[in-house]
């Protein structure tokens, strides 16, 4: 509180001290700013009693400081004082209390205003949260659309060059297909490029399919990469060894291309 109306200020201390924690300051701008900094009030009350035009004009700077803190500016005084203030300071006072007013009415009007402000602030915060939620959802939708629009990439690894050409020709209309003639080439490819799925031959010279898959699973960058085995191996123990690495699929050669397409679609659709 500030202003020349000491009677009103005394009433706040003596009659409303149990309701409001009160603090007074001088009308000097420096003092008011200092009290705002250290007291952080919920409201600023200008208690007027024939205030000078200079004092009233000073309140314009106070209002700017209060706006930065979302703190309401209230005035209290007789009708001529309040009218003069509003005439000089249009739209500055958030709440006008014109005396005479019973103490309980002053208390009620200030509390109701602060509760209204609190509700409005909560609504503003809720709107901001909802807006942020909508923004994030829109970003996710754009990301999903971009991901959906991007053609999925498949890396085919097989030492049979003819098999590579046949599979690439079969898949290239629907997918971006790259090929590797052995596991070493495939692993080197993955050091700098990404893929969404690997079609991996079981039997290859130097490093067979299970050995390549073991290295993929050991690398944090590729451990979750889906792998479908393409193989003519029907030995139960060998198949069991491969299944321990949890491939996304296991298709026998000669490849049933309809089955291959269905298995790839299942992988890209999350196994559904």
Q: Where do the domains of the chain lie? A: 6-123, 151-268
- Cα 165 from Cα 145, distance rounded (Å): 31
Q: Is 5 in a helix, a strand, or coil? A: coil
Q: Indicate the DSSP class of residue 70.
A: T
What share of the chain has pLDDT > 70, as a percent?
Answer: 96
What does the pLDDT average to over 129-149? 78
Kindly report which listed range (26-40, 135-149, 162-176, 249-263) carries the lowest average pLDDT score: 135-149
- Cα 98 from Cα 127, distance rounded (Å): 34
Q: Give the strand order in the sheet containing 95-99.
A: 44-47, 73-78, 95-99
- In order of 61, 140, 194, 229, 237, the CA distances from 117 in angstroms are 22, 34, 53, 65, 73
What share of the chain has pLDDT > 90, as a percent?
Answer: 59
Q: Hey, do 6-123 and 151-268 end up sharing a CATH topology, with the first three levels equal?
A: yes
Pure H helices in the chain: 6-15, 29-39, 53-68, 79-88, 103-149, 161-171, 183-192, 209-218, 236-243, 257-268
Architecture of domain 6-123 in this structure: 3-Layer(aba) Sandwich (3.40)
Greatest C-alpha distance within the chain: 103
> Which CATH class, in words, describes the domain spanning 151-268?
alpha beta
What does the pLDDT average to over 139-160? 78
């Amino acid at each position: 509180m500030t202003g020349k109306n000491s009677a009103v200020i005394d009433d706040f201390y003596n009659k409303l001290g149990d309701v409001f924690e009160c603090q007074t300051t001088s009308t000097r701008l420096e003092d008011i700013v200092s009290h705002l900094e250290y007291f952080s009030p919920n409201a600023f009350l200008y208690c007027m009693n024939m205030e000078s035009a200079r004092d009233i004009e000073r309140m314009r700077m106070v209002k700017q400081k209060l706006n930065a803190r979302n703190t309401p500016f209230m005035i209290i005084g007789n009708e001529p004082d309040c009218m003069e203030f509003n005439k000089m300071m249009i739209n500055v006072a958030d709440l006008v209390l014109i005396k005479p007013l019973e103490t309980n009415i002053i208390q009620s009007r200030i509390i109701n205003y602060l509760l209204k402000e609190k509700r409005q602030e909560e609504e503003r915060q809720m709107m901001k949260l909802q807006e942020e939620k909508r923004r994030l959802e829109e970003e996710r939708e754009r990301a999903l659309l971009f991901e959906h629009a991007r053609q999925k990439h498949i890396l085919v690894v097989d030492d049979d060059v003819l098999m590579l050409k046949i599979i690439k020709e079969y898949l290239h209309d629907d997918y971006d297909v790259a090929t590797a003639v052995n596991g070493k080439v495939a692993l080197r490819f993955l050091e700098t490029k990404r893929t969404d799925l690997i079609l991996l031959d079981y039997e290859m010279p130097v490093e067979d399919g299970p050995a390549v898959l073991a290295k993929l699973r050991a690398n944090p960058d590729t451990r979750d990469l889906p792998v479908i085995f393409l193989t003519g191996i029907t030995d139960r123990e060998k198949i069991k060894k491969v299944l321990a690495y949890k491939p996304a699929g296991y298709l026998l050669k000669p490849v049933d291309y309809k089955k291959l397409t269905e298995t790839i679609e299942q992988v890209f659709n999350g196994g559904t």
